[in-house]
Structure 1
Amino acid sequence: MSTPELAPRRTFGGVIAVWIAAAVIGVAVGVFAPADARASWLVAGLGVSVVLSFAVQLAYGRSQGFTQRVAAGALGALFVLGVISLGFGLAGVVPG
């Protein structure tokens, strides 16, 4: 039998950190990647975000809710990168 933690650390900060990292990756792709290669670089950025989510949650060392936290980080990163790619698509359509 294991003893419960008296003051467990909050793990939601790790999920938010992955979302912020995904936003930074998305903006970096928009700045540095050519327009015809952005989609493939965004997919690579999503892969980095998934691995980062896994690593951050492993660093917390808590097994309760591990899968849910990793999934929340990965799905949030997917949403963030999707919104950023939507912005790239709309910027490409608008004449400038």
Structure 2
Amino acid sequence: MTEPALAPRNAFVGVFVVWGAALVASVAAGILAPEPTRMTWELIMFGGLVLLSFAVQLWYGSVRGFIFRVACSVLGALLITGLISAGFGLVGLIPSGVG
């Protein structure tokens, strides 16, 4: 028989890891990607974040709340990615000759 862990890991650390990765990857894609292909790179990056959320939650190794944790991490990554890409889109509307 196995003994239960005295201090189990926090299950939502993986959610915050995916959110942090979404923040860093969205800003990097917004800065480094050329304007015409920026949305393509944002979509590729979001697909990678979905895979990352599954990998992180599978690494945690707990069945209880798996779908909830994956849904929270993917939804948070979607919101973070959407807000940052909307910000870059609004900045792209400003004419470059102003100033």
The answer to whether TM tops 0.5 is yes
Amino acid at match of 2:25: I
Tell me the amino acid that sits aligned with residue 64 of structure 1.
R
Residue identity matched to 2:83: V
Aligned-residue offset at 1:65: 0.1
Cα distance, 1:56 vs structure 2: 0.3
Counterpart Cα distance in 1 of 2:26 and 2:35:
13
Q: Does structure 1 residue 75 correspond to structure 2 residue 71?
A: no
Unpaired stretches in structure 2, ≥5 consecutive residues? none
CA distance in structure 2 between the aligned counterparts of 1:3 and 1:86, rounded to whole angstroms: 49
Cα deviation, 1:30-85, whole Å, max 9, x if unaligned, reads: 12110010111101111000000000001111110001101111111000000011
Q: More displaced, 53-62 or 7-16?
A: 7-16
Name the Cα RMSD after superposition. 1.6
The number of aligned residues is: 95
Point out the structure with max Rg over C-alpha. 2
The runs of at least 4 consecutive aligned structure 1 residues that moved more than 6 Å come to none
| TM norm structure 2 | 0.88
